Amino acid sequence: MIPDEGNEELRIGVYVCHCGSNIAGVIDPTVVAEYATTLPGVVRAINTPYACADSGQNLIKEDIEKYDLNRVVVSACSVRMHEPTFRAAVSEAGLNPFLMEMANIREQCTWAHGHEPEAALEKAKDLTAAAIAKAAFLTPLDMITVPVTKRAMVIGGGVSGISAALDLGDQGIETILVEKEPTIGGVMAQLNKTFPTMDCSI
């Protein structure tokens, strides 16, 4: 077992999602969860129909308290889709949100290798094991607030540049439009008629 920087005993909870048939239609999540129980630091490993649903999040939150978990690994879909969901869940349970790690066994595994279920299962195990290994080295982090100046510069006064500058202005952002030519409008300003109305471009 690999201790973290605080020398506390690792207590990792692993949650393997079925994602309906997206994952469970190709591999058996139960097998992945059973495999996870054999890995260092794992004290709880279970499969769940939809980890991102309220029932799945509640299971994670309840287990954090029940099993005194200090790390959480979710084997499910992409980080882009549900990392904020699971970070919020562990945070609500009193665990630092950065002590949660995800393994993408949907896009990177069952969707990519649906024609090879046995190989997909082995890859799902490997991805989950990698996430568990990484979780051992996670440390608590604090969110910081960085001041941002709400000002933008758009380079190019063609149709796209003008449109972008107007959109930014509509959002209340001070915008500076820069154009190297003496007039704006770009190529559009050089046309005397535009399709389909044949109106003057300017």
Per-residue pLDDT of the chain (202 residues; tens, 9 = 90+): 344 445 679 999 999 999 999 999 999 999 999 999 999 999 999 999 999 999 999 999 999 999 999 999 999 999 999 999 999 999 999 999 999 999 999 999 999 999 999 999 999 999 999 999 999 999 999 989 999 899 999 999 888 999 999 999 999 999 999 999 888 877 776 666 666 777 766 6
Are 51 and 85 part of one and the same domain?
yes
**Domain shared by 24 and 103, yes or no:** yes
pTM: predicted TM-score of the whole model, two decimal places: 0.74
Q: Which stretch of DSSP H or E encloses residue 24?
A: helix 21-24
Question: Quick one: 83 and 56 in the same domain?
Answer: yes
Instruction: Please indicate, yes or no, whether residues 26 and 126 belong to a single structural domain of this protein.
Output: yes
Residues 131, 158 within the same domain: no
Distance of CA 113 to CAs 27, 76, 123, 166, Å?
10, 15, 9, 45
Tokens 């790390």 found at: 71
Say if residues 76 and 60 touch (Cβ distance below 8 Å). no
- Could you tell me which of 101, 90, 105, 99 has the C-alpha nearest to residue 17? 105
69-92 residues labelled b (16+ CB within 10 A) or e (exposed): bbbbbbbbbeeeebbeebbebbbe
**Residues of the domain holding 124:** 12-135
Q: Is residue 6 part of a domain?
A: no
In a domain, 64, yes or no: yes
Same domain flag for 46 and 96: yes
